[in-house]
Amino acid sequence: MNDFTYPDELEKRLGYRFNSRDLLLQALTHSSYANERNLEHNERIEFLGDAVLELCVSNLLFLRFPRASEGELTRLRAALVSEPSLSRAARAMSLGRFVLLGKGEEQQGGRDRDSVLADTLEAVLGAVYLDSGYNEAYACIANLFEEYLPERVDVLPVSRDYKSRLQENTQCLFKARPVYTLLESFGPEHEKIYRVQVELPNGIKIEAQDSSMKKAEQNAAGKALQYLEQLTGK
């Protein structure tokens, strides 16, 4: 999507109809796109959406698990509002199709990047709050996250893809995230190969390649997990 066409389909997936279309436009506008066109980006609305999301998820968990301790609720909330969980929810509603990205970010695979998807989802939820208030935002978040809420307080929502697992491991080991970089792409358009690098917080760099950025990053993350297993003996 190179220029903004109002995404009615996104509203259907979100389960919410905006009163102000400008709010949704801003929520979908990545800073890379805004800088190229001198527009306002979504980072301020994302900041608000982050707080709204945390409050609504806290309320959902508080009501769902009336006997849970503060520590248990905090652990569940952290898992649900983490970048892997948010990016998974964003992919389920095909949010990446509607994000407005600059050319460079688009070429670097930003449309399927976890951080871009998670941040944009937070911005969209912040826009719902600005557009109609807490009750509508809560209803929207409850609908989006219903399938991710665990049945028991001792069961965390888990992400099974390599990138999410790697991020969880590096956060535990190093208190930091891995960084993915596209090193090169080559070959004809219909058979293009992408070579990527993942750099771990301890400075180790691991490369992998495949027929898409997403697959190459997953391959690199898988190799990085094997390295960490050897490093930690787990």
* Alpha-carbon distances of 209 from 181, 183, 191, 214, rounded to whole Å: 12, 10, 13, 10
Q: Is 199 a catalytic residue?
A: no
Q: Is 141 exposed, middle or buried (0-12, 13-18, 19+ CB in 10 A)?
A: buried
Alpha carbon distance 60, 121 (integer Å): 18
With CA atoms as reference, report the closest residue to 127 among 41, 38, 233.
41
Q: Which of 114, 122, 131, 217 is catalytic?
A: 122
3-state secondary structure of 159: coil
Q: Which of 50, 105, 114, 131 is catalytic?
A: 50
Alpha carbon distance 33, 234 (integer Å): 42
Q: Is 50 a catalytic residue?
A: yes
3-state secondary structure of 99: coil
CB 76 within 8 A of CB 154: no
Catalytic positions, written as ranges: 50, 122
